Amino acid sequence: MNLTRGGDLIYDAILTLAYPQVCVICGRSVEQRRFGVACEPCWKETRIFTDEERICLKCGTPDQERCGRCEELAFTAARAVGMYEGALRESVLLLKRQPYLPRHVEGLLTKLVRCEPLKRSTRVIPVPLHPKRLKTRGFNQASIIGQTVSKALKLPLDEVSLVRVSTTEKYRAGMDKKGRRDTVAGAFRAVNPRLVAGEDILLVDDVFTTGATISACGEALMAAGARNVFVLTIGRA
Ligand SMILES: [Zn+2]
Ligand SMILES: [Zn+2]
């Protein structure tokens, strides 16, 4: 880590401690620390999924009970806190820069994992970064989410059983769905089948976009004998 990057981290840390601060979306002041980088009105405008939401029961796509596009994805069910927009998006972007989740986001994640079907999970596994990437960033943002939910559900946080064996995680622009799937297919490997076999895995990541990365992880976990792979993300793109 060079000095400039270190300086940025310290500056960010001060920002998250000093309230009120300016909302990164609208410029009003954020009065409460628990809201992180967005103000309460901006949080109110962000779509958070409710218990009564009509969603695809498998992949969690809003406004449709069966989206018809997720049959091939290798997981049992995926749920997100809300749409990847507004305050949720800003919270995820912050999480990519520093290992920090505002209390409000922690509360939303905790509530979601205590509902069906995620509450049936027995083991929490964050989507891993490639070791090279982990070294430059200093932390895995999915692990920060994993820590929160493993604490809430009193489940083991497993950061060793699933590894990323290839760095291909940036998709080339214009690549179609199949192209994206092929890029990440085989990118993950379950290295401790003994720890995964028969378990109901809660796989966690920051954003669910096409589901290709998550499905590649799910495939590796299922191949190692996982009984179910439930998925939790903050945002749904
Ligand atoms: Zn705002
Ligand atoms: Zn679906």
Q: What is the pLDDT of residues 154-166, one digit of tens each?
A: 999 999 999 998 7
pLDDT at 21: 86
Q: What is the pLDDT of residues 28-66, one digit of tens each?
A: 999 888 999 999 999 999 999 998 899 999 999 999 889
Among the bound ligands, name the one nearest to the CA of residue 210.
2
pTM, rounded to two decimals: 0.87
Two tokens at 187? 């990118």
Two tokens at 154? 């009193």
More confident residue, 121 or 9: 121
Burial class (CB in 10 A: 0-12, 13-18, 19+), 71: exposed
DSSP string, 66-103: --SS-TTSSSSEEEEEEESSHHHHHHHHHHHHSS---H
Query: Model confidence at 180, in pLDDT bands (50, 70, 90)?
Result: low
pLDDT at 16 over 80: no
Among the bound ligands, name the one nearest to the CA of residue 30.
1
Among the bound ligands, name the one nearest to the CA of residue 43.
1
| Å from CA of 68 to ligand 2 middle | 6
